[in-house]
Structure 1
Amino acid sequence: MRLSNRNKAPGYNFINTLLIMILVGGIVSFFLEEYKFNILGSESYLLIIIPLIMLVSFHLMGRQIFEYDSDGEALNFKNRNIIPFLDKPLSDEFPKYKLIKYEIVNLLFIKRLYVTISSKNSGSTMLKYEISYLTTKEVNDLKFSLNKVVKANNEKNVKDR
């Protein structure tokens, strides 16, 4: 199964650009307010604070682009930001039999996927991916696919014992 929200990247770029333009407009309005009009008083700081909070929250929700591929014998996870220099992109590929479990954590607007895989060195390793920008249907499809892999691995482990 393949899952990707890469086609939404232009929309995320538009939102990011719009938020930056609103912030710049807020900064210009703030200076005009402070030195020319002086209508709002101390509330003029909101012209900078509100757009800044919106921009920071957009980026704190995590990497916008998530790609998953479970075709074949390996699982591929890719997670990257629309602004390449902001975050290091994540890219992991490992055999399906190494998947032990997964967990999706949902905190208000922030969603994270934690994948635990078996490792030779430490026994198990946890990988973290940001899936905040996936729709509910995409998250359900991801859960279905990962459940299938975990179930197949558990059945194989029971058979081997």
Structure 2
Amino acid sequence: MRLNNRNKAGYFQFLSILVLMVLVGGIVLYFIDRSNERINLGSVLLLIIPLFFALIFYLRGSQIFEYDSDGEALNFRNKNVVFFLNKAKSDEFPKYKLLDYEIVNLILYKRLYVTISSKKSKSVILKYDISYLSGKELDDLKSSLKKVLSKNKE
């Protein structure tokens, strides 16, 4: 099964540019309002609210997630539409190495933790950001990983 949300990349780029513009605009308006030599709650909110939205956008993690379970290997890719925020993460390993997976669903973000077996240590945990997957995509990912785990246990 293949799963990706690459078709939403334009939307995520627009959203990142919008967050950046609101942040820069808030900073500029804060310093313009501060030049009046009085700082009130309104001028502080011009700085805090855009910073809050930028922080949420950054904490949610990488926007693009790709998963491929066709063939004998599992492929995971995670990348950000904003090239300077973090590097793309790509992992490929045989299906039989998959030991377990866990999806952590918090208020602001969702993460996928995949546990695989390795030669050097008993297991390795890989982390992927899946915050921007839709509910259906998340259900498909769970069912695919469940199938791989059930085949491994046989």
Cα shift at 1:37: 9.2
Secondary structure of 1:100 counterpart: strand
Instruction: Output the TM-score relative to the length of structure 1.
Output: 0.91
RMSD: 1.4
Count of paired positions: 154
Cα shift at 1:42: 4.0
Contact kept, 8 Å, 2:16 with 2:82, in 1: the verdict is no
- Where does the alignment leave 5 or more consecutive residues of structure 1 unmatched? 156-161
Aligned pairs for 1:49-88 within 5 A: 49-88=48-87
Instruction: Output the TM-score relative to the length of structure 2.
Output: 0.94
Q: 1: CA distance between counterparts of 2:115 and 2:93?
A: 11
Larger radius of gyration: 1
Contact kept, 8 Å, 2:61 with 2:129, in 1: the verdict is yes
Q: 2: CA distance between counterparts of 1:12 and 1:84?
A: 12
What letter corresponds to residue 8 of structure 1 in structure 2?
K
For the pair 1:119 / 2:118, whether they are aligned, the reply is yes
Q: 1: CA distance between counterparts of 2:79 and 2:93?
A: 18
What letter corresponds to residue 84 of structure 2 in structure 1?
F
Q: 1: CA distance between counterparts of 2:82 and 2:20?
A: 13
Q: 2: CA distance between counterparts of 1:31 and 1:124?
A: 52
Q: 2: CA distance between counterparts of 1:42 and 1:110?
A: 30
**Percentage identity across paired residues of the two chains:** 60
Judged with a 3 Å threshold, the aligned counterparts in structure 2 of structure 1 residues 11 and 99 are, in CA distance, closer, same or farther, namely same
Match of 2:26 in 1: 26
Structure 1's consecutive aligned runs of 4 or more residues displaced over 4 angstroms after TM superposition are: none
Deviations 1:79-119 (A, max 9, x none): 01111221121100000111111110111121010101111
Secondary structure of 1:109 counterpart: coil
Contact kept, 8 Å, 2:56 with 2:108, in 1: the verdict is no
For the pair 1:90 / 2:89, whether they are aligned, the reply is yes
Aligned pairs for 1:122-161 within 5 A: 122-155=121-154
